[in-house]
Structure 1
Amino acid sequence: MSEKGTRRIGLIPFGLATVVLLSLFLTLTYQALFHRKEGAARLPVLRRVETFSLTDQSKKTVTLGDLRGKVWVADFIYTSCPGPCPAETLRMKEIQDLVAGLPDVRLVSFSVDPGVDTPEVLARYAQAHGADPAKWYFLTGTVKEIWRLATESFALAVGENPPNRPAEEGPVFHSTQFALVDQEGRIRAYYDGLRPATAARVARDIRALLEERPTAGPERSPVPTGGGAR
């Protein structure tokens, strides 16, 4: 066989390898882009949080404007809650730990019993649960402000239990849903705040929002109070 023929045979495997590698590269690139878009599609714009001005555990005023440019997770609790609030706060602490290295992330816990939950009370509660005061706000204000925020902005239930309630139910009932809010103050997802798997799902979706380019998408109908959790 001639030297020329040998060279041609030697080039065939090399060419095939190049084509295979190029095809693999393009496939992986396409899949990465596709899944990134797919991840963003999982987080539709559900509704918008209305402006608020409340007080945190260090007696500082926190407004919706202070959270602009941040991805944040919201829940509604109260410090004397005998029911689900400790579990919610534990779940929020798990989220805090999972996203500790991300600077543009905040956690916000609104007290639904603000008459009792003064900044001093909230500060003790926050410290007892390992909250980073620079990233996790516990907010108090008036009952009217916070209950209106829960029901009208977040579409979550809150109300006063009857006087003859069982002791384990506490004075206030409220939703245990978490809400994920984007950099523009739009709610993008709801989660069951009591599920062990929630922390990892929220952390994953936080990262997806941080990578998302700002877009003006249509807002959708409110999610029912008892549904929509992930």
Structure 2
Amino acid sequence: MRVFIVALIAIAGIVIAYQFTKPGEKPLKIYNPVDVEPEMVDEDLKRKGFGHKIQEFSFTDQTGQAYGSKDLKGKIYVAEYFFTTCGTICPIMNAEMQRVQEAFVGNESFKILSFTVDPETDSVEQMRNYAEAHSADPKQWHFLTGKKEDLYQLARRSFFVLKPAEAQNQGDVGSDFIHTNYFVLIDTQKRIRGYYDGTNTKEVDKLIEDIEKLMEEE
């Protein structure tokens, strides 16, 4: 009997080891400031290589209600920065984001956050109209507006998706910064787990796969 038990333990160990070493099943990378382009990061964070987490925040969504960190506890979410009057990459990005929403419709453990870079234009009403035009479920996909300095500070110090306009010699909605086309995947511990080109269908397919993988990890 003892030999049988030892054999079972050995077999179980082999199975567990196999599960952790299967090709393609490595855990998703955890991103820190040193892992992203330096121009996306505020100077004092550029050398930070460990322990980065999304800071606390609260803004107003398209329903006129406050929404932020306290509502995201235990949730996986994807974040983007955009503006409703953008006629270039934003329509493409949010058409792709609709696919992400459809992949996880009704899943309470997953959320989508779309932060505006132009709060002077993107009022609650403007965001609501835009959300409805993109079939956004207000329980899952939140379009967030608020104070410009707070939105930009969060983008530069947490998500790393705003680039100084002078870096590309162009402006964006009359500001000193331009938003990127990246979707950012955040885990339940407020860590960045991936960046994906929101204008690229294949990368958004990869995002959907990684969200599913992250749900299995959590």
The aligned amino acid for 2:108 is P
Paired residue for 2:30? 44
**Distance of 1:189 and 1:95 partners within structure 2:** 15
- Which one of the candidate residues 123, 131, 134 is aligned to 2:136? 131
The number of residue pairs the alignment matches comes to 185
**Distance of 2:13 and 2:192 partners within structure 1:** 34
- Which one of the candidate residues 145, 158, 165 is aligned to 1:140? 145
Deviation at 1:64, TM superposition (A): 1.0
SS at match of 2:156: helix
The answer to whether 1:181 aligns with 2:186 is yes
The answer to whether 1:108 aligns with 2:113 is yes
The answer to whether 1:56 aligns with 2:61 is yes
Paired residue for 1:222? none
The aligned amino acid for 1:44 is I
TM-score if structure 2 supplies the norm length? 0.75
**Distance of 1:65 and 1:45 partners within structure 2:** 22
The aligned amino acid for 1:43 is K
SS at match of 2:119: coil
Paired residue for 1:121? 126
Q: Could you list the per-position Cα deviations for residues 93-119 of structure 1 after superposition, in whole angstroms to 9, with x for gaps in the alignment?
A: 111111225320000000000111011
Are the aligned partners of 1:74 and 1:109 in contact in 2 as well (CA < 8 Å)? Answer: yes
Deviation at 1:83, TM superposition (A): 1.5
Compared with structure 1, are the counterparts of its residues 184 and 37 closer, same or farther at alpha carbon in structure 2 (3 Å cutoff)?
Answer: farther
Q: Which runs of 5+ in 1 are unaligned?
A: 1-22, 214-230
Compared with structure 1, are the counterparts of its residues 207 and 141 closer, same or farther at alpha carbon in structure 2 (3 Å cutoff)?
Answer: same
Which shifted more, 141-150 or 170-179?
170-179
Q: Which runs of 5+ in 2 are unaligned?
A: 1-10, 33-51
Compared with structure 1, are the counterparts of its residues 101 and 66 closer, same or farther at alpha carbon in structure 2 (3 Å cutoff)?
Answer: closer
SS at match of 2:26: helix
Q: Which is higher, the Rg of structure 1 or of structure 2?
A: 1
Paired residue for 2:81? 76
Aligned pairs for 1:6-17 (under 5 A) are none
Are the aligned partners of 2:76 and 2:186 in contact in 1 as well (CA < 8 Å)? Answer: yes
Compared with structure 1, are the counterparts of its residues 36 and 149 closer, same or farther at alpha carbon in structure 2 (3 Å cutoff)?
Answer: farther
The answer to whether 1:193 aligns with 2:180 is no
The aligned amino acid for 1:126 is A
The aligned amino acid for 2:153 is R
SS at match of 2:151: helix
Deviation at 1:33, TM superposition (A): 4.0
Compared with structure 1, are the counterparts of its residues 159 and 59 closer, same or farther at alpha carbon in structure 2 (3 Å cutoff)?
Answer: farther
The answer to whether 1:34 aligns with 2:21 is yes
Are the aligned partners of 1:73 and 1:180 in contact in 2 as well (CA < 8 Å)? Answer: yes
Compared with structure 1, are the counterparts of its residues 36 and 60 closer, same or farther at alpha carbon in structure 2 (3 Å cutoff)?
Answer: farther
TM-score if structure 1 supplies the norm length? 0.72
What is the root-mean-square deviation in Å for CA atoms of aligned residues? 2.7
